[in-house]
Amino acid sequence: MKILRRKRSTYALSLILCLAGIAALLATLWKTWPEVSSAKDPFSTFLTLLWTEKLDLIAGLAFKLVYLVVLGDAMLISGIVLLVLSVQRFYLPGKVVWYRCPFCKKDWRSSGDKALVHCPHCRQLIHPIIIEKPVQ
Protein backbone atom coordinates (compact mmCIF):
# COMPACT_ATOMS: atom_id res chain seq x y z
CA MET A 1 0.00 0.00 0.00
CA LYS A 2 2.84 2.35 0.91
CA ILE A 3 4.68 1.47 -2.30
CA LEU A 4 1.57 2.10 -4.36
CA ARG A 5 1.15 5.51 -2.81
CA ARG A 6 4.78 6.34 -3.55
CA LYS A 7 4.25 5.29 -7.18
CA ARG A 8 1.22 7.53 -7.40
CA SER A 9 3.08 10.50 -5.95
CA THR A 10 5.94 9.95 -8.41
CA TYR A 11 3.37 9.88 -11.19
CA ALA A 12 1.70 13.06 -9.89
CA LEU A 13 5.09 14.78 -9.51
CA SER A 14 6.06 13.86 -13.06
CA LEU A 15 2.79 15.30 -14.39
CA ILE A 16 3.30 18.50 -12.40
CA LEU A 17 6.87 18.80 -13.74
CA CYS A 18 5.69 18.25 -17.32
CA LEU A 19 2.92 20.82 -16.98
CA ALA A 20 5.21 23.35 -15.30
CA GLY A 21 7.82 22.82 -18.02
CA ILE A 22 5.28 23.25 -20.80
CA ALA A 23 3.87 26.34 -19.03
CA ALA A 24 7.36 27.87 -18.78
CA LEU A 25 8.05 27.23 -22.47
CA LEU A 26 4.64 28.55 -23.49
CA ALA A 27 5.19 31.66 -21.37
CA THR A 28 8.48 32.23 -23.21
CA LEU A 29 6.80 31.84 -26.59
CA TRP A 30 3.92 34.07 -25.54
CA LYS A 31 6.35 36.73 -24.33
CA THR A 32 8.54 36.70 -27.45
CA TRP A 33 5.88 35.97 -30.08
CA PRO A 34 4.94 39.58 -30.99
CA GLU A 35 8.54 40.38 -31.91
CA VAL A 36 9.51 36.97 -33.27
CA SER A 37 6.51 36.74 -35.57
CA SER A 38 7.26 40.11 -37.17
CA ALA A 39 11.03 39.61 -37.39
CA LYS A 40 12.85 38.81 -40.63
CA ASP A 41 14.98 36.21 -38.90
CA PRO A 42 12.66 34.71 -36.28
CA PHE A 43 15.14 32.25 -34.84
CA SER A 44 17.99 34.66 -34.11
CA THR A 45 15.48 37.24 -32.89
CA PHE A 46 14.14 34.62 -30.51
CA LEU A 47 17.64 33.82 -29.25
CA THR A 48 18.44 37.50 -28.76
CA LEU A 49 15.19 38.04 -26.91
CA LEU A 50 16.00 35.16 -24.59
CA TRP A 51 19.01 37.07 -23.29
CA THR A 52 17.49 40.54 -23.26
CA GLU A 53 13.86 40.10 -22.28
CA LYS A 54 12.98 39.79 -18.66
CA LEU A 55 9.96 38.40 -17.00
CA ASP A 56 8.70 39.83 -13.74
CA LEU A 57 7.39 36.81 -11.95
CA ILE A 58 7.32 38.46 -8.57
CA ALA A 59 7.62 42.21 -8.08
CA GLY A 60 11.29 43.16 -7.91
CA LEU A 61 12.50 39.76 -9.12
CA ALA A 62 13.30 39.88 -12.81
CA PHE A 63 13.88 36.62 -14.56
CA LYS A 64 15.76 36.43 -17.84
CA LEU A 65 13.79 34.46 -20.40
CA VAL A 66 16.74 32.19 -21.08
CA TYR A 67 16.58 30.93 -17.49
CA LEU A 68 12.90 30.23 -17.94
CA VAL A 69 13.63 28.22 -21.08
CA VAL A 70 16.40 26.24 -19.38
CA LEU A 71 14.20 25.67 -16.33
CA GLY A 72 11.24 24.71 -18.51
CA ASP A 73 13.33 22.23 -20.48
CA ALA A 74 14.81 20.74 -17.33
CA MET A 75 11.38 20.35 -15.74
CA LEU A 76 9.89 18.89 -18.90
CA ILE A 77 12.71 16.37 -19.39
CA SER A 78 12.78 15.25 -15.76
CA GLY A 79 8.98 15.09 -15.80
CA ILE A 80 9.02 12.82 -18.84
CA VAL A 81 11.76 10.63 -17.35
CA LEU A 82 9.81 10.28 -14.09
CA LEU A 83 6.63 9.60 -16.03
CA VAL A 84 8.25 6.83 -18.05
CA LEU A 85 9.74 5.32 -14.88
CA SER A 86 6.48 5.44 -12.94
CA VAL A 87 4.43 4.09 -15.85
CA GLN A 88 6.93 1.25 -16.28
CA ARG A 89 6.58 0.40 -12.62
CA PHE A 90 2.80 0.53 -12.92
CA TYR A 91 2.68 -2.02 -15.68
CA LEU A 92 5.42 -4.38 -14.62
CA PRO A 93 3.46 -6.49 -12.15
CA GLY A 94 5.91 -7.09 -9.33
CA LYS A 95 8.98 -9.22 -9.84
CA VAL A 96 9.23 -12.12 -12.16
CA VAL A 97 9.55 -15.44 -10.38
CA TRP A 98 10.02 -19.01 -11.38
CA TYR A 99 7.24 -21.46 -10.67
CA ARG A 100 7.53 -25.21 -10.41
CA CYS A 101 4.66 -27.55 -11.01
CA PRO A 102 4.28 -30.11 -8.21
CA PHE A 103 3.01 -32.70 -10.68
CA CYS A 104 5.31 -32.60 -13.68
CA LYS A 105 8.19 -30.78 -11.89
CA LYS A 106 8.70 -28.41 -14.80
CA ASP A 107 9.60 -24.73 -14.32
CA TRP A 108 8.31 -21.60 -15.97
CA ARG A 109 8.59 -17.88 -15.47
CA SER A 110 5.72 -15.63 -14.53
CA SER A 111 4.98 -12.53 -12.54
CA GLY A 112 4.55 -13.09 -8.82
CA ASP A 113 1.56 -13.45 -6.47
CA LYS A 114 -0.41 -16.22 -8.06
CA ALA A 115 -1.93 -18.73 -5.68
CA LEU A 116 -3.57 -20.96 -8.23
CA VAL A 117 -2.46 -21.35 -11.84
CA HIS A 118 -2.74 -23.70 -14.76
CA CYS A 119 0.56 -25.40 -15.36
CA PRO A 120 1.66 -24.50 -18.93
CA HIS A 121 3.22 -27.95 -19.30
CA CYS A 122 0.63 -30.41 -18.02
CA ARG A 123 -2.43 -28.08 -17.93
CA GLN A 124 -3.41 -29.02 -14.40
CA LEU A 125 -4.75 -26.46 -11.96
CA ILE A 126 -2.04 -26.34 -9.32
CA HIS A 127 -0.64 -24.42 -6.38
CA PRO A 128 2.77 -23.61 -7.86
CA ILE A 129 5.99 -23.87 -5.90
CA ILE A 130 7.90 -20.61 -6.14
CA ILE A 131 11.60 -21.17 -6.64
CA GLU A 132 14.46 -18.71 -6.67
CA LYS A 133 16.39 -18.50 -9.89
CA PRO A 134 18.57 -15.72 -11.22
CA VAL A 135 16.84 -13.74 -13.95
CA GLN A 136 18.37 -14.45 -17.34
- Contacts with Zn ion by CB under 5 A lie at 101, 103-104, 119, 121-122
Q: Least distance (Å) from Zn ion to the CB of residue 112?
A: 19
Q: Least distance (Å) from Zn ion to the CB of residue 120?
A: 8
Q: Least distance (Å) from Zn ion to the CB of residue 134?
A: 22
Between 76 and 101, CB nearer to Zn ion = 101
Between 67 and 103, CB nearer to Zn ion = 103
Between 29 and 104, CB nearer to Zn ion = 104
| Residue 122 near residue 104 (C-beta atoms within 8 A) | yes
Q: Least distance (Å) from Zn ion to the CB of residue 70?
A: 58
Between 54 and 100, CB nearer to Zn ion = 100
Cα end-to-end distance, the chain, whole Å: 29
| Residue 82 near residue 12 (C-beta atoms within 8 A) | no
